């Protein structure tokens, strides 16, 4: 453990932020080239900042200053959050820095990765085979049932014709056959549903685990580029959709297909003439139904998209509640949300009417088929080509086919949804990060000094390749020294820390620890063992004084806080600070501006130089004075 990194950040309160308005010009400059509005709030906000910060400062403070400060406050809150979470939560950084992220509905769906699917399915293959066999058996039983019902009806018909027939002995055999078939059907149905449930749940659980394992290992840039919501969706609803569709396709799909084929064969065996009639009529009805169905699906998709649009308006407004409040945008937001919600309602209403018409027509068609079969079947019965039982079997088999076809048409939509949900899950389970988590060299503890060197490092974030954040950046951080980075916001301080942790790889140049390029080091060792990270807001140890005081481990036992500092002092320390007072005791202070070292030296040297560091100190003094005025004013106001 030779290197410790401190992020000594100050949490910007509203007052503090309002004080920052005094830096209007500098802030404006900073924003001019760095700030890229990403949503309507940010555009609005950006505009307001530009216009407001160009006003003369400190007019009518505090009343004016407070209002004025609020415009800035929103923007700086974003920056501040990013700063505080620069290392711990890079994805927030992304949001706050308004980087383009990948939306879920951007671009085409990925292809279904069969290899990954087989990988998660294989351990359950025997359960799956058993489930398929059971579902198939249910289908075969379902084909037999209409025939048996026919036999039963024939016995009843015989009895009504001839009262001398022994009804009970005649009906016993077909009745027992039918009852055993119903029993078998019930047992098999229970069996395949239970088996499929096991397969579905286990596969879904495996998919979730694989996906999470893969996501957590991705490069930080992956999290910069993808919204958390999108990733969570893949982990939850996509896996859920895939599981439901998978179960449905195996159970109902297999059953419906087998039943349709089996019942068509039965129909043909019962009456080829009636079957021919069906073959002509049914496909044309199915084609008509499919046409209306596809129109309804399009309508449903559009309605879903409209609901998503309304949700995203709400999401943006609620997620930016402070900005909304700061700009008194509530009525506008309500109006916008109402418009989108109304549009979604109209579309869903139309969809409902369409579904109603479709159902009505479908019922009409199906009843028409039954009537047609009765009419034609009655004629065949009159000509003794068909028995009453056969007509009964024919009707039941027709209904079974109709039910199966209806299920299959519903299944089609679910299968398409399931395949694309599965494709989205497997897209990320097979994704390999460019920077591995482990593997590479570890420096043994006895050879570890903690010399860090940035040599001509150039870097731009992969999500924003056009903006080079560090340009030929060079810095030596000698072993055991406390080196502090300071400078204007957005200068690149957090980026330097992120590169040292190897969250990203540099474009040009190199970063070395004891002369070993960090690309050759084991990343998990580097992050977990070599570099310690402390996110501390008020870290002001007088390093030199502490070193002297404890270097011979003084007579007094240090208290727990001091002990912590002592442990730290033996290491190379990189402090990233907003408050300059926290770093006055650092061995070396590097002022970072526009991705380069603008000034380097200790506090006194830099102060005497009257350069950027001196400017920063002055600026902070003004901020402190404003803060004081602000506090006094508030106290006076009670
Ligand atoms: N994850 C990211 N993806 C893309 N660009 C980023 C990312 N993080 C920061 N940036 C950009 O890199 C530049 C340097 O940012 P960085 O956070 O390193 O500056 P900083 O000096 O630490 O600022 P602060 O003091 O506000 O924390 C800024 O222009 C910022 O917009």
Query: Could you tell me if residue 294 is inside a domain?
Result: yes
pLDDT of residue 103: 46
Rg (CA), the chain: 37
**Are residues 400 and 522 located together in one domain of the fold?**
no
- Residue 490 beta carbon below 6 angstroms from any ligand 1 atom: yes
Q: Is the CB of 85 under 6 A from ligand 1?
A: no
**If you take atom 28 of ligand 1, which residue's CA is the nearest one?**
490
Atom of ligand 1 nearest to the CA of 90: 1
368 and 464 co-located in one domain: no
- Cis peptide bond N-terminal to 168, omega within 30: no
Whether 262 and 311 share a structural domain = yes
pTM: 0.67
Same-domain pairing of 512 and 619: yes
The response to whether residue 519 sits with its C-beta less than 6 Å from ligand 1 reads: no
Dihedral (C-alpha) 153, 158, 163, 164: value to the nearest 10 degrees?
-120
Residue 107 has a pLDDT of: 54
Which residue's C-alpha comes closest to atom 26 of ligand 1? Answer: 489
Nearest residue (CA) to ligand 1, atom 2: 94
379 in the same domain as 345 = yes
362 and 462 both lie in a single domain = no
Q: How far is CA 550 from the centre of its chain?
A: 50
Phi-psi domain of 516 (left: phi exceeds 0; alpha: psi -120 through 50; beta: other): beta
Based on the structure, what is the number of domains in the chain? 2
CA angle 240, 245, 249 (to 5 degrees): 155
Position of tokens 């009636």? 274
444 in a structural domain = no
Q: Ligand 1 centre and the CA of 490: distance in Å? A: 5
> Which parts of the chain register pLDDT below 70?
1-109, 533-552, 554-570, 638
The pLDDT score that the predictor gives to residue 142 is 82
User: In angstroms, rounded to a whole number, what is the distance separating the alpha carbons of residues 3 and 231?
Assistant: 33
For residues 598 and 585, give the distance between their C-alpha atoms in angstroms, rounded to a whole number.
19
Domain hosting 259: range is 114-430
CATH of the domain at 505: 3.40.50.300
Q: Report pLDDT for 563.
A: 58
Residue 135 within a domain: yes
From 461, 487, 488, 592, mutation site for ligand 1 pocket: most ligand atoms within 8 A of C-beta:
461
Q: What is the pLDDT of residue 447?
A: 84
Residue 388: CB within 6 Å of ligand 1? no
Tell me, using a 6 A CB cutoff, whether residue 93 lines ligand 1. Answer: yes
C-alpha 608 to ligand 1 mean position (Å): 29
Strands 3-8 and 572-577, bridge-based pairing: parallel
pLDDT at 601: 94
Q: Is any atom of ligand 1 closer than 6 Å to the C-beta of 174? A: no
Is position 89 within any domain?
Answer: no
Helical residues (DSSP H) of 383-442, grouped into ranges:
388-429
The protein residue whose alpha carbon is closest to atom 30 in ligand 1 is: 490
Task: Flag whether 363 is in a domain.
Answer: yes
Instruction: Let me know if residue 257 belongs to a domain.
Output: yes
Do 349 and 495 lie in one domain? The reply is: no
Calculate the CA 399 to chain-centre distance: 44
d(CA 578, CA 7) in angstroms, rounded, equals 9
44-64 in b/e form (b: 16+ CB < 10 A) is bbbebbeebbeeeeeeebbee
Q: Are residues 460 and 348 in the same domain?
A: no
Q: Are 77 and 17 in contact (CB under 8 A)?
A: yes
Q: What is the largest CA-CA distance in the chain?
A: 126
457 and 424 within one domain: no
CATH of the domain at 310: 1.20.1560.10
Say yes or no: CB of residue 95 within 6 Å of ligand 1. Answer: no
Tokens for 564? Answer: 């912590």
Q: How far apart are CA 418 and CA 249, in angstroms?
A: 9
**482 domain residue, yes or no:** yes
Q: What is the pLDDT of residues 347-364, one digit of tens each?
A: 999 999 998 998 898 888
The interface predicted TM-score (ipTM) is 0.98
Could you give the CA distance from residue 241 to residue 236 in angstroms, rounded to a whole number?
A: 9
At 51 the three-state DSSP class reads helix
Q: Are residues 408 and 519 in the same domain?
A: no
Residues 6+ apart with CB under 8 A from 181: 141, 144, 145, 148
99 touches ligand 1 (CB under 6 Å): yes
Q: Is 262 in the pocket of ligand 1 (CB under 6 A)?
A: no
Q: What is the pLDDT of residues 224-274, one digit of tens each?
A: 888 888 889 899 989 999 999 998 888 888 888 888 888 888 888 888 888
> Is residue 27 one of the residues assigned to a domain?
no
In DSSP terms, which residues pair with 438 in a beta bridge?
Answer: none
Q: Which atom of ligand 1 is nearest to the CA of 220?
A: 1
């Amino acid at each position: 453990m030779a290197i410790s990194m401190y992020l000594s950040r100050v949490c910007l309160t509203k007052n503090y932020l309002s004080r920052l308005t005094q830096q209007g010009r500098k802030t404006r400059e900073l924003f001019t080239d760095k700030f890229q509005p990403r949503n309507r709030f940010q555009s609005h906000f950006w505009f307001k900042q530009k216009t407001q910060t160009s006003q003369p400062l400190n007019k009518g403070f505090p009343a004016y200053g407070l209002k004025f400060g609020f415009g800035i406050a929103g923007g700086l809150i974003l920056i501040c959050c990013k700063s505080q979470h620069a290392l711990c939560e890079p994805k927030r950084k992304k949001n706050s820095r308004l980087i383009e992220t990948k939306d879920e509905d951007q671009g085409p769906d990925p292809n279904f990765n069969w290899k990954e699917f087989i990988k998660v399915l294989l351990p359950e293959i025997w359960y799956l085979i058993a489930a398929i066999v059971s579902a198939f058996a249910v289908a075969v039983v379902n084909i037999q049932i209409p025939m048996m019902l026919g036999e039963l009806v024939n016995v009843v018909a015989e009895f009504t014709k001839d009262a001398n027939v022994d009804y009970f002995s005649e009906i016993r055999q077909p009745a027992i056959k039918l009852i055993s078939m119903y029993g078998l059907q019930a047992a098999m149905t229970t069996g395949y549903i239970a088996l499929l449930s096991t397969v579905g749940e286990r596969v879904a659980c495996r998919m979730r685990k694989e996906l999470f394992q893969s996501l957590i290992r991705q490069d930080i840039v992956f999290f910069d580029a993808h919204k958390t919501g999108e990733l969570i969706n893949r982990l939850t609803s996509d896996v859920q959709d895939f599981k439901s569709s998978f179960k449905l396709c195996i159970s109902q799909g297999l059953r419906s297909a087998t039943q349709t084929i089996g019942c068509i064969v039965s129909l043909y065996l019962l009456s080829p003439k009636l079957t021919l009639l069906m073959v002509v009529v049914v496909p044309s009805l199915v084609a008509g139904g499919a046409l209306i169905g596809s129109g309804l699906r399009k309508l449903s998709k559009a309605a879903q998209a409209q609901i998503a649009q309304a949700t995203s308006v709400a999401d943006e407004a609620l997620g930016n509640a402070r900005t909304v409040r700061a700009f008194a945008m509530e009525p506008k937001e309500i109006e916008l949300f109402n418009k989108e919600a109304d549009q979604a309602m109209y579309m869903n209403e139309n969809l409902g009417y369409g579904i109603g018409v479709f159902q009505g027509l479908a019922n009409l068609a199906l009843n028409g088929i039954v009537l047609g079969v009765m009419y034609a079947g009655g004629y065949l019965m009159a000509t003794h080509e068909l028995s009453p039982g056969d007509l009964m079997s024919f009707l039941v088999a027709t209904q079974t086919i109709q039910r199966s076809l209806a299920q299959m048409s519903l299944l089609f939509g679910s299968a398409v949804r399931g395949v694309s949900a599965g494709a989205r899950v497997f897209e990320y389970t097979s994704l390999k990060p460019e920077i591995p988590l482990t593997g590479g060299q570890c420096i043994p503890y006895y050879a570890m000094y903690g010399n860090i060197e940035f040599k001509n490092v150039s870097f731009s974030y992969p999500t924003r390749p056009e903006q080079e954040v560090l340009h030929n950046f060079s810095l030596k951080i000698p072993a055991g020294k406390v080196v502090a980075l300071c400078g204007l916001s957005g200068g690149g301080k957090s980026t330097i820390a992120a590169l040292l942790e190897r969250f990203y790889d540099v474009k040009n140049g190199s970063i070395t620890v004891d002369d070993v390029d960090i690309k050759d080091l084991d990343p998990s060792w580097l992050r977990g063992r070599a570099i310690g990270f402390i996110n501390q807001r008020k870290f002001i140890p007088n390093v030199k004084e502490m070193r002297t005081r404890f270097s011979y481990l003084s007579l007094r036992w240090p208290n727990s806080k001091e002990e912590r500092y002592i442990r730290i002092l033996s290491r190379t320390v990189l402090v990233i600070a907003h408050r300059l007072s926290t770093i006055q005791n650092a061995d070396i202070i590097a002022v970072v501006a526009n991705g380069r070292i603008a000034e380097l030296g200790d506090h006194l040297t830099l102060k005497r130089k009257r350069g950027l560091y001196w400017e920063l100190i002055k600026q902070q003094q003004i901020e402190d004075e404003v803060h004081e005025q602000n506090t006094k004013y508030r106290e006076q106001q009670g």
